[in-house]
A and B are shown apart, each in its own frame.
Chain A
Amino acid sequence: MRRTLLESLTRGPLTETPPTADDAALAELAASLERAARRRLGRSLSIREVDAGSCNGCELEIHAINNAFYDIERFGLRFVASPRHADVLLVTGPVTKNMREALERTYRATPDPKWVVALGDCALDGGIFAGSYAVAGGVADVVPVDLHIRGCPPAPIAILKGLIALVQAQ
């Protein structure tokens, strides 16, 4: 272990230059976010991820933004274990009928002020699964959404751009 740790000291960081906030995301947020709420939370946001029925592809890329290359925590964003600690719900997947109630309850358990980010093409409108007997629709069909990040799944850079917009759109 000593060798691995020493190497970490001598090797330069892998972390990449941060992307700029996504313009489309800034525009969508400007329309939906209260300035007062944003001032209160400052630049540090706690995110609770909710898989509302995704194929797990989006989760893989959300994991990736925690790795050494993207290192989301340097932006003041971190993932928390409980909705009660969260400022942001990051929701993936078409919302399945089996997950609708769980998502609603998670939303209610999150203290105000809170924002909801719908991640991935399925979260937008159900995507390829829209119209199924088992699918309730996109995230906005179940809880109010402040920001959509598109992609199937969105690449880590696209996720970062959207989330940075959240802390910068002040």
Chain B
Amino acid sequence: MASLREIAAQGRRIEAHRPWPRVVVTEDGWRAAVSELAAGRATLLGLWGESGTPGLVHLAAMTRNGADIAVVTLECPLQTFPSVGAPHPPAIRLERAIHSLYGLEPVGASDARPWLDLGFWDVEFPLGTRLPAVDPRPAYDFLPVEGESLHRIPVGPVHAGIIEPGHFRFTCSGETVVRLEQRLGYAHKGIEGLMAGADIERAARLAARTSGDSTVAYGIAFAHAVEAALDVEVPVRARYLRALMAELERLANHFGDIGAICNDASFAIMHAHCGILREQVLRAADACFGHRLMMDCVVPGGVATDLHADGPPILQAALKMFRQRFPLLVQLYDNTASLQDRTASTGIVRSDYAETFGAPGFVGRASGRDFDARKALPYAPYDELHFTVPVLTAGDVNARVWIRIHEVEQSLALIEQIIARLPGGPAVTAIDRRGSTGEGLGFAEGFRGDVLAAARIEDGRVIRCHLRDPSWFQWPLLEAAIEGNIVADFPLCNKSFNCSYSGHDI
């Protein structure tokens, strides 16, 4: 068996690709990479298509400890490629999306149904051959279910709460869910299509709007990819300010979601108090950077807005308040037996699934997967800051809540260190766009997990950009986690994952 590194060494290296290698491989090389994934020796990071003559499919993978990362590319002159999903299920939805968007067909796939394409577009394969869509379009076949006294509950795309659109098809035996099947794509905006040909500023704005709750994480991942592609040196101050924004974003989301999970167990007081903490984070972010969600604050080359002069005292006052208030809420969560009764042993994600799917973020870390891009693929300034990555093994709703509680504590400590060490100097480097050409791969650890960005730049324009949301490797695990739970616990399980619809649907 050839290791990922050997496979990468045998392919044709694309010199313009940084910082990790991209190699064009033969079909044998492709199959070898896929078998590394299937054997569990490598973790899938991303799988995306590209139009052109010939069409291309790219597969990003890393060895288990994150030591080696490589992108392997297969040319598809016949518009086909050997299926990755058949031997390695985490790739199934990704390759279905490649087929629906680019028309590149996975041969031997275990599931040939479209993904993201719900039959409403004017064209088929909108980013590939763009064939006019033919009506009537075939109905979507949900997976068959067999058994006595089963009933189905269709939910969505318009949900009961203030949440994003998606469709869930529950098959139940009495109260118990025997199968959940998701159908997503309602928020598909064609971001990859809009990115192609956009200048770097516009592309950055699109990246920042891929998933609004992770706008900073997307900003950083996209910036990492562009900066790697164009070999841009980012000022140290900008690195620190990005980390400050990223930790504020993590805090805001964790506070909000810890409250919202409890609210889904009808424990409204946690929701009310956590909502106050979340609002305080957003107000601090607004005072520091001029935008509550810090949208468009990260740009390739640095940050668009330097920290406001009053920023450090505002942040210190906020930290002090969080450290007073949050432990009381943690106690409240921990000491309320009726709440624990709902969260403990509910919605368990098996640790082997978490490992196979490379489950990003707190979903993985609550099921024993010790991975955080800030540690495993360290980017400045995290290599200079002290923090730990909490890991639990129970894999239930309760464990996911506790991971987030611990991550709040780590983020508070990180923000303190960042304020104390914040270096002076410029906050942005101008990118010389004329003639700037290259390819880059970047990561950022958002609150939900690692965001991947792959970008190819030619003459200051984005030719191709792919953004992979962590939710791609979390949504399928939610289907598995709900099995055997009662329908009434679905909102609780769903909120404890809080997967992105928009980020997944791109």
Contact = CB atoms under 8 A, between A and B. Distances in A.
Contacts of A57: 209, 212-213, 215, 293, 295
A66 B405 CA distance: 23
A51 B165 contact: yes
B156 to A, nearest CB: 8
A134 B127 CA distance: 11
Interface residues of A, number: 49
Given A4-B273, A97-B120, A134-B189, A55 B256 contact: no
Query: Range of interface residues on chain B?
Result: 35 or more
B58 interface: no
B128 to A, nearest CB: 12
A20 interface: no
A140 interface: no
Contact of A53 (B165, B273, B276, B500): B165
Contact of A98 (B122, B185, B278, B328): B185
Nearest to A52: B165
A96 B119 CA distance: 12
Interface string B140-170: 0000000000000000011011111100000
A40 to B, nearest CB: 25
B123 A1 contact: no
Contacts of B161: 81
A1 B212 contact: no
A77 to B, nearest CB: 13
Contact of B160 (A56, A68, A81): A81
Contacts of B210: 55
B158 A102 contact: yes
B502 interface: yes
B269 interface: yes
A93 B286 CA distance: 22
A83 B158 CA distance: 10
Contact of B158 (A50, A59, A68, A94): A50
Contacts of B275: 63-64, 66-68
A54 B123 CA distance: 22
B501 interface: yes
A77 B162 CA distance: 15
Interface string B182-205: 000111111101100000001001
B335 interface: yes
B158 A129 contact: no
Given A51-B165, A55-B209, A57-B209, A68 B293 contact: no
A102 B336 contact: no
A36 interface: no
Nearest to B119: A98
Contacts of A138: none
A106 to B, nearest CB: 5
Nearest to A59: B162
A61 interface: yes
B210 to A, nearest CB: 7
B279 interface: yes
B190 A61 contact: no
Contact of B213 (A56, A102, A135): A56
B162 A49 contact: yes
Given A56-B212, A133-B123, A69 B162 contact: no
B412 interface: no
Contacts of B328: 3-4
B282 interface: yes
26 contacts: A1-B336, A4-B273, A51-B164, A53-B189, A54-B187, A55-B210, A56-B211, A56-B212, A56-B500, A57-B213, A57-B215, A59-B162, A60-B213, A60-B293, A61-B292, A63-B256, A82-B160, A96-B186, A97-B121, A98-B118, A98-B120, A128-B202, A133-B121, A133-B122, A134-B190, A155-B286
